[in-house]
């Protein structure tokens, strides 16, 4: 998979994509991630990328030209263009599975007070990572990239994501490691029993209990 990210702040991505699982996925060529500063595409003599809003109002608005030209250069028939915006569809694990099947994603990070609404016309999807306002789409694009890259074949053990939270609309069961007792808190005896059927039943039940208590909305699905 190839992921192109359009931003005015390329440095923000340096640490995130050079650590841990994403770093390994890049080295092993499971994913190619390119960061583009769309200011480089501005035809303005001063490389301006924003202007005042028509009709008046606060702040500056990202202009169409640099983003249109950057997308135009990167886009192929296989591309899915995604705008990160708080008024997009709220991102869920299910969408991560769907996007992980794509060949090429172009993620556009908005910034400042907003962007010219005509930018939406070149986007296939608009995604929000939650009902809160970030200073820009950068963190949102990192979240989306991270959640997709870990699902790409060979990046992490397939079994790990079959059992994780949100699969089958259930939250993950609790896990423990050594020592068996820590500050008086004991690991549930069933996990030490060696009885795999009992362990499986226990985990399923704990998943359901946790989901009921924390996310009853998931069980309704």
Does residue 134 touch ligand ADE according to CB under 6 A?
Answer: yes
Binding mask 180-219 for ligand ADE (x = CB under 6 A): ----------------------------------------
Tell me how many residues contact ligand ADE (CB under 6 A): 13
Does residue 61 touch ligand ADE according to CB under 6 A?
Answer: no
Between CA 32 and CA 162 the distance in angstroms is 25
Q: Where are the alpha helices (DSSP H) in the chain?
A: 20-27, 64-74, 93-99, 138-149, 158-162, 196-214, 216-220
| Whether 4 contacts 105, CB under 8 Å | yes
Does residue 137 touch ligand ADE according to CB under 6 A?
Answer: yes
Distance from the Cα of residue 133 to its chain's centroid:
16
Note if the bond before 179 is cis, omega within 30 degrees: yes
Does residue 133 touch ligand ADE according to CB under 6 A?
Answer: yes
Nearer to ligand ADE, 131 or 220 (CB): 131
Does residue 87 touch ligand ADE according to CB under 6 A?
Answer: no
Q: List contacts with ligand ADE (CB under 6 A).
A: 84-86, 110, 128-130, 132-134, 136-137, 140
């Amino acid at each position: 998979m190839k992921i192109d990210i359009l931003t005015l702040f390329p440095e923000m991505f340096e640490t995130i994509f050079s650590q841990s699982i994403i770093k390994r996925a890049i080295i092993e060529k499971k994913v190619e991630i390119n960061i583009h500063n769309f200011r480089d595409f501005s035809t303005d003599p001063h490389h301006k990328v924003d202007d005042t809003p028509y009709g008046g109002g606060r702040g500056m608005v990202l202009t169409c030209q640099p983003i249109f030209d950057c997308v135009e250069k990167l886009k192929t028939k296989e591309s899915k263009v995604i705008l990160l915006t708080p008024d997009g569809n709220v991102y869920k694990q299910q969408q991560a599975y769907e996007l992980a099947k794509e060949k090429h994603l172009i993620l556009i990070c908005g910034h400042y007070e907003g962007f010219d609404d005509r930018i939406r016309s070149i986007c296939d999807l608009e995604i929000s990572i939650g009902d809160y306002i970030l200073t820009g789409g950068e963190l949102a694009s990192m979240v989306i990239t991270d959640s997709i890259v870990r699902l790409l074949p060979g990046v992490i053990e397939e079994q790990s994501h079959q059992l994780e939270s949100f699969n089958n609309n259930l939250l993950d069961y609790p896990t423990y490691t050594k020592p068996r007792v820590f500050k008086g808190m004991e690991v549930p005896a069933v996990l030490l029993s060696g009885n795999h059927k009992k362990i499986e039943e226990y985990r399923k039940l704990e998943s359901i209990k946790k989901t009921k208590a924390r996310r009853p909305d998931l069980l309704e699905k």
